[in-house]
Structure 1
């Protein structure tokens, strides 16, 4: 958790303080109920109304602040996770980036980040909140009746034991759901990418049949994951209701033997929620935390660029590129085998060959989109040269001339500062050249 909040420590501690404050106000509700019945505050309706209104005002303020600040914290963490991910991906070379399918990356930014926020962060904050409530509620009940507190703790222990049995099943269901979502996103992406070919080749039914399979898998994994959690939640809710009524029956027995007053029993009944609900919910929250830990670790690992650092800063013009020995293969098929080739500045070279002979691969290697040994730029080993400084020294036109997702001006300037007059002259010159 501290890795996630390291940039938001102040906000995190404010959230914890407000969670504690909310638990204190919740305990005051139990104390107020006990005093109303035992200290005869009912005899003064005006005093009762004033006290209740003050309490409701404090409750509204603390509750609203607590929920708002926690929501702000979760959104800050979501922002940081997304930022770390896209900065990490942007810093990778093209070959490293293309090792992942785009649907897998989309799944990370959307579903996996949400799983971390909803299952891990929310559960961690809820566990803290429930722990504070458990401590305060137990102290209050113990002060009035140790017997009832021991009874509640025993029942809660049984509930935790029941929930812990299903921990591994919850974890497995969560991971299966994420895998199904990733496959579904991949199928939708393929529909968008291949739509023209699907229509031209009249393959709508074949493709829809494949989508039906992935859609069905997603439906089943979602139902298995969420439905199983709902069933456990219902069981826990039943146990908590049974514990509440058993507490009342236990308290009535103690009243009969003059061990409790009616007001004290009502206070205990109210405070019992601060003991019953934390322990009943703790098992589910712990399982959600455990199931989301692999997802969190995966996101944290992907946020760290694992590429080798390129220490050589290339701060000179390119005079020549020497290829002493370049060999590149796709699997067992060798695509390139070049020796003693020199590319000099200012000269023109023609690269010809059939489709698949390695023309694009050769250009990808020269532009460091793919890694290979045996290439030297100004006698410096290309694989050790920092790409950002090397890339500024050459330009090329790719065979896929897609516009970047920027404005018209940014597509021309590529992020470089240029006056509007210079830009206008450049566009005019290019149009005249055409």
Structure 2
């Protein structure tokens, strides 16, 4: 979050807000200034004149309050508009980035953005309003006597230095909230993904224990932060009280020296209260803003544009792997045999469980980086060429549907593909399944109630990938929930193209295996085994 960008979000509205805040500051100062005349009248026993000035002060103060409320509403609307722009940039970042976890994304889009809104964005207007109140009130004090204004300026300067005393502690406390919230979200994901299994074994106590523990850790970070903020407010409050007493004391001395009137003592006290309350507001706001420094820097960094190169370059002749290795976080390492796959080949990839078949796909997609070795695409002359990995279609084991119609799940919101949907529905044997739904292709995929079977979901994802007609298809157990007869037809239709297709599948019939050009076995204990089928 940057102040300059907040202003740019709506420049005209920003100017109007500043104008209203200036009027508020002047109105507030005038309301307090009239108090001087009210008490001067009272000291001379002019009661009705006293009431008149008090009434003027009240009306002016009320109008100033209304103006400030309007400014607050306008600012709140602009702040939310700016937050919307930040959220849009963050979403764009996460769409194009492959390095951030789901819990980190949720933490930034929800918790951290809310922290910035409360502890940074909302403080800007408070500082602005308080600043104009201080300026107009100080000018009024100069009109009373220069010495009062000088004392106030000195005391305000000291007061504004106070946030530096707790800045580091506040920043650290806020950062801990963000970190602990991320850990808590991670725990929720880890345990809720296995909720059905926990219910099956009646393991509520373990489930409750780990979530409660992480929840308590998060709650403690909020308590720790409040301690720091409470200490800052206490120091600010002490400085505020001392300053108000000092100003009133000086005004009293000037009164007895017959330099100022009796009303000046009261008015000076009122102005002192306004000024130092404004100073307290500013110091508290600055403390809160400074506490978000690390989070703000983190979110500002995430808002930067990620260079995205889109290309339809598919001019390759072979895909090669050489000395390819990948090490998992648990230090287990997989060594892949050297492979050469020709453009247009239909490959069945086999290997025992844990041999790294799915990992190989993620390496081909550049979702993972190899520990050593290379994967590269070559042209007919054997020269390496750069291929857009977005042109590789990937059918993962855990297929994903969106809470929209089956048709939109297939076209992925590309209306240009609408006319081709029926053809690919037939290709993946989904036609008979749709006949059971009254709405057919317009049936909503209910991701919460799972109104689609595992096989139906796989067929929809198969149709989604086939309709895109990308030059390379990687299919990882993409028909595991589909019956044998339908699987044979789907595989046959899938392989009847000029696309390069690599399939991971178990329990295929001999007839289905014969549809492939080759079988590659990547079992590390056996090395690469290529044979025609």
Alignment TM-score, normalising by the size of structure 1: 0.83
| Residues in 2 aligned to 1:432 and 1:224: alpha-carbon distance in whole angstroms | 60
The reply to whether residue 12 of structure 1 matches residue 2 of structure 2 is no
**TM-superposition CA deviations, 1:202-251 (whole Å, max 9, x none):** 43323322233222222222111113313432443344344334433433
1:342 Cα deviation after fit:
2.2
Deviation at 1:334, TM superposition (A): 4.5
Whether 1:22 aligns to 2:21 is no
Q: What SS is found at the alignment partner of 1:335?
A: strand
Cα gap change, 1:196 to 1:62, in 2 (>3 Å): same
Say if 1:46 and 1:142 are closer, same or farther in 2 by CA, change over 3 A: closer
After superposition, the C-alpha distances for 1:32-85 in whole angstroms (9 at most, x for unaligned) are 323444478963699669846753563244112210111112212211221111
Give 1:361 shift.
2.0
3-state SS, counterpart of residue 356 of structure 1: coil
Q: Are 2:35 and 2:53, in contact at CA under 8 Å, matched by a contact in 1?
A: no
Alignment of 1:343 with 2:337, yes or no, is no
Which segment drifts farther, 329-338 or 284-293? Answer: 329-338
Q: Provide the residue aligned with 1:176 in structure 2.
A: 176
**1:53/1:377 CA distance change after superposition, 3 Å:** farther
Equivalent residue in structure 2 for 1:63, among 43, 58, 68 = 68
- Relative contact order, CA 8 A, sep 6+: which one is greater? 1
Cα drift, residue 31 of structure 1: 2.4
Partner in structure 2 of residue 199 of structure 1:
199
Compute the displacement of 1:396 (Å).
4.5
Q: Secondary structure at the match of 2:395?
A: coil
Deviation string 1:242-299 (CA, Å, 9 cap, x unpaired) is: 4334433433332233222233333322222342123334333333222211111101
2-structure distance, mates of 1:48, 1:382? 87
Number of residue pairs matched by the alignment: 421
Q: Which residue of 1 aligns with 2:377?
A: 376
- Partners of 1:64 and 1:301 lie apart in 2 by 34
Is 1:330 matched up with 2:324? no
Output the CA distance in 2 between the equivalents of 1:6 and 1:146.
39
Q: What runs of 5+ residues in structure 2 fail to find an aligned partner?
A: 434-485, 487-533
- What are the ranges of 5 or more consecutive residues in structure 1 without an aligned counterpart? none
Match of 2:96 among 71, 91, 95: 91
Which structure carries more helix by proportion?
1
With over 3 angstroms needed to count, the CA separation of the structure-2 counterparts of 1:409 and 1:46, relative to structure 1, is farther
* Correspondence list, 1:109-120, <5 A: 109-120=109-120
Report the equivalent of 1:254. Answer: 254
- Residues 147-204 of structure 1: CA distance to partner in whole angstroms, max 9, x if unpaired? 3333334444554555532222222222222222222222222231121232334433
CA distance in structure 2 between the aligned counterparts of 1:161 and 1:304, rounded to whole angstroms: 33
Deviation at 1:416, TM superposition (A): 1.3
Shift of residue 348 of structure 1?
A: 2.4
1:80 to 43, 62, 85: 85
Paired residue secondary structure (1:166): helix
Distance 1:357 1:383, change over 3 A: farther
Q: 1:314 to 1:419 in 2, by over 3 A?
A: closer
User: Are 1:320 and 1:343, in contact at CA under 8 Å, matched by a contact in 2?
Assistant: yes
Q: Match of 2:491?
A: none
Q: Cα gap change, 1:19/1:334 in structure 2, threshold over 3 Å: closer, same or farther?
A: same
Counterpart-to-counterpart distance in 1, 2:127 and 2:91: 30
Structure 1 pair 267–196 and aligned structure 2 pair: CA distance change class (3 A): same
Q: Distance in 2 between matches of 1:370 and 1:343?
A: 23
Structure 2 matches for 1:218-367, cutoff 5 A? 218-306=218-306, 310=309, 313-314=311-312, 320-323=317-320, 325=322, 327-331=324-328, 333-339=332-338, 341-345=340-344, 347-367=345-365
The structure whose Rg is larger is 2
Q: Any conservation in 1 of the 2:32–2:57 contact (CA below 8 Å)?
A: no
> Hey, what's the Cα distance between the residues in 1 that align with 2:309 and 2:29?
59
CA change 1:424–1:32 in 2 (3 A) is farther
Aligned equivalents of 1:384, 1:58: Cα separation in 2: 67
Distance 1:285 1:165 in 2: 14
- What SS does the corresponding residue of 1:329 show, helix, strand or coil? strand
Counterparts in 2 of 1:405 and 1:302: CA distance versus 1, 3 Å? farther
Separation in 2, partners of 1:186, 1:21: 49
- SS of 2:277's partner is helix
User: In 2, distance between residues paired with 1:31 and 1:8?
Assistant: 35
User: Does the 8 A contact of 1:91 with 1:305 survive in 2?
Assistant: no
How many Å apart are 1:350 and its aligned residue? 0.8
